[in-house]
Amino acid sequence: MESGGIEIGTPAFRRSALALAAAGFSTFAVLYAVQPLLPVFAEAFGVTPAASSLSLSLATGLLAVAMPVVSALSEVWGRKPVMLASLVASALLTLVAACMPSWTGFLVVRALAGLAMSGVPAVAMAYLAEEMHGRAIGLAMGLLVGGNSLGGMTGRLLSGVLTDHYGWRVALVVIGLLALAAALAFWRCLPASSRFAAHPLPWRALPGTFLGHFGDAGLPWLYAEAFLLMGGFVTLYNYVGFRLLAPPYSLSQSAVAAIFVVYLAGTASSTLVGHAAGLIGRRRVLWLAIAVGLGGIALTAAESLVLVVGGIVVATVGFFAAHSVASGWVGRRALRDRAQASSTYLCLYYLGSSVAGTLGGWVFAHAGWSGLVGFVGGLYLAALAIALRLARLPEPA
């Protein structure tokens, strides 16, 4: 390793990339494995759709509020130890969740798993920023995001298929064992930090580094975008399974889970749109991406299965595109304490998933799919209005 950090093509880069891809894969497989199983939980435990969504919402909510704290703790305890503890704990808690006999116990364990999962998204980017050479950061970050996306898709798909054949408890056991294997790969492969220096944190000053960003003219609106976009997107995916498992579609659990393969289209769109934002400007691209997502949401109101699935694909492409632009914009507007600015964005991102994801269940139970489309569409209309406001906002000096 050179003095400037880990270079592309070196053994250290390959080990780091593999380790962090495995960490992202494990974290998001564990987090989202329950999403296609919400109808199964509703039937198995005799709870409402909104209550079943708590298996995801509690995990994302605890993850959201824990990230700023865990990020700060990694400054004292080190990057690799915090991420390793996160991976092992979330994997073990997934195995425990598979054995819980009661709904309350299951939710408690899922909430603790969300708390445990916070270590990877909170710390991985800091590790890359410290250890990678400037020329290697972009590729390493892309591999990390790819691991996140692949993990989320695989967790959803695998849990749905395994539930069809062996039941949801076996599905979660398999996900937990895969997560443990990923933790082992992470421990063996990730080089120890060589450019990290532990230091005590001024805890009293820490809140100010987060709250200070709310004085910016644009950052609070970008945080609102995170809440609205992720809230609407997760709500759509939370309850589409209830619709497609029921008549007139009566799809299998495996077929519903297979819809999550469209995440690959979303991942590709985020890369392409990120490039387009660099060419024609994020101000134009953000509102266009949200408008595309809004069109996809509207398509899901149709009766045709082809149009419903097509709407999910279009909404997914629009969401990933908008999220890639908004999250990148945060780093451009934050002139100081960029790590805290990004952490705040992610906190609102996952809080949107928790709050809107569960509230959408109440809407779905009382107003059906058309009501849910109106609810999610309303969130995206608000996001579109904010994007148009951001388009007129001058850049910071």
Answer whether residue 220 shows pLDDT above 80.
yes
Q: Residue 20: CA atoms inside 13 Å, Cβ hemisphere, count?
A: 30
Average pLDDT over residues 109-120: 94
Answer whether residue 292 shows pLDDT above 80.
yes
pLDDT band at 125 (very low <50, low <70, confident <90, very high): confident
pLDDT band at 385 (very low <50, low <70, confident <90, very high): very high
Average pLDDT over residues 218-237: 94
Give the pLDDT score at 344.
84
Residue type, 196: F
Give the pLDDT score at 218.
78
* Structural domains of the chain, with CATH: 10-190 (1.20.1250.20), 205-396 (1.20.1250.20)
Residue 390 · residue 228 · CB < 8 Å: no
Termini Cα distance of the chain:
37
d(CA 162, CA 175): 10
Answer whether residue 194 shows pLDDT above 60.
yes
Residue type, 295: G
Give the pLDDT score at 2.
43
| C-alpha closest to that of 71 among 335, 344, 326 | 344
Q: Residue 39: CA atoms inside 13 Å, Cβ hemisphere, count?
A: 21
Answer whether residue 141 shows pLDDT above 80.
no
Answer whether residue 342 shows pLDDT above 80.
no
Residue 55 · residue 106 · CB < 8 Å: yes
Give the pLDDT score at 230.
95
Give the pLDDT score at 375.
98
Please report the DSSP string for 369-384 in residue order.
HHHHHHHHHHHHHHHH
Average pLDDT over residues 29-34: 96
pLDDT band at 209 (very low <50, low <70, confident <90, very high): low
Please give the C-alpha separations between residue 46 and each of 7, 251, 293, 366, in angstroms, as whole numbers: 54, 21, 33, 17
Average pLDDT over residues 109-126: 89
Q: Which residues of 139-166 are buried (b: 16+ CB within 10 A; e: fewer)?
A: ebbebbbbbbbbbbbbbbbbbbbbbbee
Residue 7 · residue 13 · CB < 8 Å: yes
Residue 378 CB contacts under 8 Å (≥ 6 apart), including other chains: none
Residue 200 · residue 372 · CB < 8 Å: no
d(CA 281, CA 390): 12
Answer whether residue 184 shows pLDDT above 70.
yes
pLDDT band at 111 (very low <50, low <70, confident <90, very high): very high
Please list the alpha-helical segments (H only) found in 214-304. 219-245, 253-258, 263-280, 282-299
Average pLDDT over residues 251-278: 76
Give the pLDDT score at 203.
61
**Taking the CB of residue 343, how many other CB atoms lie within 10 A of it?**
25
Percent of the chain that is helix, strand, coil (3-state, to 5): 85, 0, 15
pLDDT band at 214 (very low <50, low <70, confident <90, very high): low
Answer whether residue 3 shows pLDDT above 60.
no
Give the pLDDT score at 70.
84
DSSP 197: -
Residue 31 · residue 155 · CB < 8 Å: yes
